Amino acid sequence: MAEERLQKFLAQAGISSRRQAENLIRAGRVKVNGRVVCEIGIKIDPVRDKVSLDNQEITTVAEKVYIMLNKPPRVITSLRDPAGRKKVTDLLTGVEARVYPVGRLDYLTEGLLLLTNDGELAYRLTHPRYEVDKTYVALVKGNMGEKALEKLRGGIWLDDGPTRPALVQILARGKGWTRLEITIHEGRNRQVRRMCEAVGHPVLSLKRVRYGPLRLGKLAPGSYRHLEPGELRALKEACRLD
């Protein structure tokens, strides 16, 4: 078997995405043949070399698993939490495979979250290069006017740089609030919340309802299901994965 990069091997083994695997390597948690490796880009032979994470040997994944979860608020997407808060993986009763979230939803955000052990798919879905759309329904404070809408649609300058233009439409208005639908294809930390706050309309509640071709539909909060074959094909097509 041909050699491959260590972070790709970790992703294919269902440990994490390739980006997260690089962080594990930098943190000194990965060993190859008993030796700690901190160098990004090192290549290994998956057949001959022994790879371990936190001193536990890793083998490649035989079967890929793809799950859609309706994440409730006040559940974290991290796989470990020193504070002992509920994790999204705690909701996957009956799932024996080790899966990890594709991207993140913050603690208070709810809605569609993908979990998988397919590292290559996770990498592409979260990389801005592949421009996979993510759609949210946000309830924001105040009556959002046309000026704020145009700012969101044109791109907002945040503390980590300008955002790409977003697709935004008003769904409803009430006394002191606006409900809007916003579509982005970046994945920055708390991006939608920061964008809305930057135009003077802090988010009161936030829910992701679509990820690429996948729609949350009527999946109940806290529930999950495995993707249908057609959904998986459409998802791979969205990020140009053969």
Q: Are 15 and 58 in contact (CB under 8 A)?
A: yes
Q: Are 148 and 110 in contact (CB under 8 A)?
A: no
Give the CA dihedral 131, 135, 136, 142, nearest 10 degrees: 90
Tell me the sheet residues that pair with 67. 115, 226
Element (H or E) spanning 113, and its range? strand 110-116
Of 54, 90, 106, 160, catalytic: 106
Listed in sequence order, the residues at least 6 apart from 76 whose beta carbon sits closer than 8 Å to its beta carbon are 85, 86, 87, 88, 107
Q: Is 118 a catalytic residue?
A: no
- Residue-wise burial string across 212-241, b where 16 or more C-beta atoms lie within 10 A, e elsewhere: bebebeeeeeeebeebeeebbeebbebbee
Q: Which active-site residues does the annotation give?
A: 106
